[in-house]
Structure 1
């Protein structure tokens, strides 16, 4: 009965999924199989598959992002049109699935190049400085979520992913560069002495906060694509013996 159900889905599923080996089902403990299957999934979906709500991840565009650093001083960064490159080359670092609690932990290593527009805001001084930013960095990204199973109207069982919790652990210090004009404007902003003192004493942690905030925002789309694929493919296409 199961093989018949899977056949029904395979007849109707997207060509890139079926004919081009979108995924390879793996044992939960087979790290090498899981690594290769993850790479295949990323490579074949990096440009997006709109028909199945799978979004492009490389490049990935983040329209806007705001990061608050110091509420008292009103120091924050506002980003527009961030372009994130490198997600399709991320490497599986670890994977665990607990059949009893139905908890999953997925971790990958990413090496990213990020660029876009930035506005530095010092709200206390009613001052904003616009410019551009580029970042290079690496991190371990971890997504934790629970799963369940749901049978569709064709009798095929699918994974259903619960809400995810995403964490980012930088590997080394990210390389962050502002355009020369913005650097010049910051140096010449004599009215921002208090803000400069704060930033100077928190530079390293703020750089990591910037990088990981962007990485976390991007990784939401990575998990979204896994969730979207799970709606299309039977659970047996992902993992064996579940």
Structure 2
């Protein structure tokens, strides 16, 4: 009996989710409506919905992330990187080409990125390690194609293709280093060669690298939600 009740509850939960939807339907050129729909979607999904393969994005924990700036002979490795602020994204621009079946979505978000980082100076093979917090206002753009497919019940769903993520930093990011890490960088002869302008440039590039990684999870959730609810829950008159 308990198993039956549990199954009924799960079926009911799925039905309610589909009925109330994760968003609201808008015209593709109605930015005001799309902004409200984005707020609704993020409010309902930022904690994740495992049954629909929708992952948690705020806070977003990235266990390990490595990237390099070869032109600067620098390599970064973050561990236990936590990103917050994706929940409060705002649409800056949205373009949907229904003939080409393509989307360009740009959102703005104030992101805090906190973690332990190893910075390897590849010329000298030295690694400087410490705790690093970065705050940045990000303009993240996702470009992807889509298809409309009809399921076995005759309902249309969006199938979102692979995305391309690009990033711009809207303002100069701010950084907070642990006192120990600050002292390590201040005393390192190679690190001291970077002036304030170069440090800010690197800070912007770091912020974008992390933001691009984080935004892939946002698009993942759009893709997962598109499979869970009808296309009509997102847009009016899309065929």
TM-score (norm 2): 0.88
Partner of 2:199: 203
Partner of 2:106: 107
- In the TM superposition, residue 181 of structure 1 has moved relative to its aligned partner by 0.4
After superposition, where does 1:88-107 map in structure 2 within 5 Å? 88-107=87-106
Structure 1 segments unaligned to the other structure (5+ residues): 1-9
Deviation readout 1:39-86 (Å, 9 max, x if unpaired): 000001010000100000110011122221245x74212111111111
Deviation readout 1:151-192 (Å, 9 max, x if unpaired): 122221110111111111111110012211011112223xx4
Inter-CA distance 220–121: structure 2 relative to 1 (3 Å threshold):
same
Partner of 2:162: 163
Deviation readout 1:74-130 (Å, 9 max, x if unpaired): 421211111111111111112111111111111111011111111111233232121
Answering whether residue 73 of structure 2 is matched by residue 77 of structure 1, we say: no
| Structure 1 moving runs of 4+ over 4 Å | 198-201
Inter-CA distance 14–229: structure 2 relative to 1 (3 Å threshold):
farther
TM-score (norm 1): 0.87
Superposed CA RMSD in Å reads: 2.0
After superposition, where does 1:120-139 map in structure 2 within 5 Å? 120-139=119-138
- Match of 2:235, SS state, is coil
Equivalents in 2 of 1:120, 1:130: separation in Å?
6
Partner of 1:7: none
Equivalents in 1 of 2:133, 2:16: separation in Å?
37
Equivalents in 2 of 1:201, 1:238: separation in Å?
44
Partner of 1:37: 37
- Match of 2:173, SS state, is strand
Check the 8 A contact 1:17/1:23 in 2, yes or no: no
- In the TM superposition, residue 201 of structure 1 has moved relative to its aligned partner by 5.9
Check the 8 A contact 1:96/1:104 in 2, yes or no: yes
Check the 8 A contact 2:158/2:226 in 1, yes or no: yes
- In the TM superposition, residue 199 of structure 1 has moved relative to its aligned partner by 6.5
Deviation readout 1:195-226 (Å, 9 max, x if unpaired): 54256662222111100111110000000000
Partner of 2:60: 60
Equivalents in 2 of 1:231, 1:140: separation in Å?
26
Inter-CA distance 201–93: structure 2 relative to 1 (3 Å threshold):
closer
Check the 8 A contact 1:16/1:44 in 2, yes or no: no
Partner of 2:3: none
Structure 2 segments unaligned to the other structure (5+ residues): 1-10
- Size of the aligned set, in residue pairs, is 228
Check the 8 A contact 1:111/1:139 in 2, yes or no: yes
- Match of 1:160, SS state, is strand
